[in-house]
Amino acid sequence: MTNPALLQLLGLAARARKTISGEELVVKEIRSGKAKLVFLASDASANTSKKIQDKCTFYNVEYYVFGDRYDLGHATGKEARVAIAITDSGFAKKMSSLLNEN
């Protein structure tokens, strides 16, 4: 299910400092309108999933449930991450098109 091209792009975005990870920080980015796209790990807790999905829906931010916490963490060079927000519209657009083509 994991898309290597997407994971590489996520890593690139992380190195370019265009990502925010961590549940609370992601929620803050969604609220402030800086988050362009949000990734949620498939193994995030029900509580976290609901919170992030509700925020994304309310603030009209595109989100995807993608990979597990280790896929997301590994792609960004961190340990495990359940939520990652992309703050750059260029990266967000490219990732969105990669996700929508399959």
| pLDDT per position as a tens digit, 41-69 | 999 999 999 999 999 999 999 999 988 99
* pLDDT at residue 6 in the model: 86
Tell the CATH topology of 4-100: 60s Ribosomal Protein L30; Chain: A; (3.30.1330)
Q: Which two tokens stand for residue 4?
A: 């290597």
CB burial of 42-69 (b: ≥16 within 10 Å; e: otherwise) equals eebeeebbebbeebbeeeebbbeebbbb
Sheet of strand 37-40, all strands in order from the earlier edge strand to the far edge: 19-21, 83-86, 37-40, 62-65
Q: Which two tokens stand for residue 83?
A: 């939520």
Backbone angles phi, psi at 86, to 5 degrees: -100, 125
Q: Which two tokens stand for residue 62?
A: 């595109």
* pLDDT at residue 102 in the model: 58
Tell whether the model's pLDDT for residue 12 goes beyond 80: yes
Most confident of 4-8, 23-27, 63-67: 23-27
| Tens digit of each residue's pLDDT (9 = 90 or more) over 60-97 | 999 999 889 999 899 888 889 999 999 999 999 999 88
